[in-house]
Every structure is written in structure tokens, then in C-alpha cells.
Amino acid sequence: MKQDTQKVDQGYGNLFHRIYSVRLPICAKAASASMDQLQQNPDQFSPQILAHFEKTKGSKTSLHVGDEFIVHIPGPWNGPVRVTEVGPNRFKLATLEGHLEAGEITFEMKNMGPNENLFQIESKAKSRDAFVDLVYDKIPIVRLAQTEMWKGFCEQFAKAALEADPNCFEEVPEVQVVTEKYNEESQQWQTL
């Protein structure tokens, strides 16, 4: 049975916009190869102590619209997602019923110039219910764990991408994190 997506407008509380990014001084070929590797198996970059990606629908070696994953997280937090968009440099996942959040997340490699790329994970989501809102927004335990998960993901992806370019001898750059919260009452974004 196909699960329904949990769209942002079905969520509870404030809308969060989060960006995790890392600059990669690698050639276009290495950037493309790294995204191919990510699309084949996102779990290889996930910090296993925090999360494990299990593909439950679709090919085990490629990514297509309609494929589904369960992101296993310690505790009662597993997150089912569905692929809604796939391109050579990006893909997007939508949250499904049962996920902590209602929204979407995009993984993208942006070319910023010769031998300069930006790997970015961008999410837009609300909590699925009042309890998740409490532990995500009010007492941000889940948000802090999520930050560590995606930072670790970016670091592992960056390490592999740098190793894919034989002319690059850089260390893994620091992952940048931007978190914004939209307050519907004041209709303003707040950077956290």
C-alpha cells in the first residue's frame, strides 16, 4: 500500500528551512561521479550511529522517482521518504506518513566555477505533530541530533568526493549549517 506524503502544510508548528553545505575544490568529473555514488547508495555516507538508509522500493543500484527509503534512527524516530525528483546533480525526497517531519529535503551539487563545487542538503519542513514540535522546536533535542546527522553525512560525502579527484589534496572543509524558522504569527523568518 502506497503511503501518502506529509506535505509542509499538513505539519504542525513553525516551518524550518535548513541548509547544510560544504565547499569542494574538485573537478566537474569528480563532482559528477560523487553524485552518482550518492544516488546509488545514500547509506554509505550516513553516520551509522545516528541513521541508516534502507531502500524499501526501487533498484538497489540506482535512484528513480517513486523509490522509497526508511531512514532508521535510534529510538521511535524512523523516517519513511519517497524520491520525488532525480537529476544529474540533485535529487529530492518527500516525507511520508509516520516521518517526524512534514516536508521535503534536497541533495544537490552546485558548480560554483572551475574546480569549485558546493554540496548542499536543504530541507523545508514542519513537525508532524505537537509532540515532535515540542522536542524539535521548543526543547530542540531532535533538531540538535538532526544537525549532527546531516553534518556527519556532509563530511563523509565530502571526504569521498575529495578522494575522487586525483588532483585534490585538500582536507575536508567545515560543514556550514544555516537554520531559519518561519513564525506564522509574525510572518517573519528568524535565523537560529
CB-CB neighbours of 127 under 10 Å: 25
- Chain centroid to CA 7: how far? 16
Its pTM stands at 0.94
> CATH number of the domain that 117 lies in?
3.30.530.20
Q: Is residue 121, in this structure, part of any structural domain at all?
A: yes
Residue type, position 115, single letter? N
Alpha helices in 10-106 (DSSP H): 28-40
User: In tens digits, what is the pLDDT along the chain, a chain of 192 residues?
Assistant: 466 999 999 999 999 999 999 999 999 999 999 999 999 999 999 999 999 999 999 999 999 999 999 999 987 778 999 999 999 999 999 999 999 999 999 999 999 999 999 999 999 999 999 999 999 999 999 999 999 999 999 999 999 999 999 888 889 999 999 999 998 888 999 999
Residue type, position 67, single letter? D
Q: Is residue 3, in this structure, part of any structural domain at all?
A: no
- For residue 140, what is the DSSP state? -
Domain that holds residue 186: 8-191
Q: Rounded CA gap, 118 and 134, in Å?
A: 33
The tally of domains found in the chain comes to: 1
In the chain the first and final C-alpha atoms are separated, in Å, by 39
Q: Rounded CA gap, 142 and 79, in Å?
A: 13
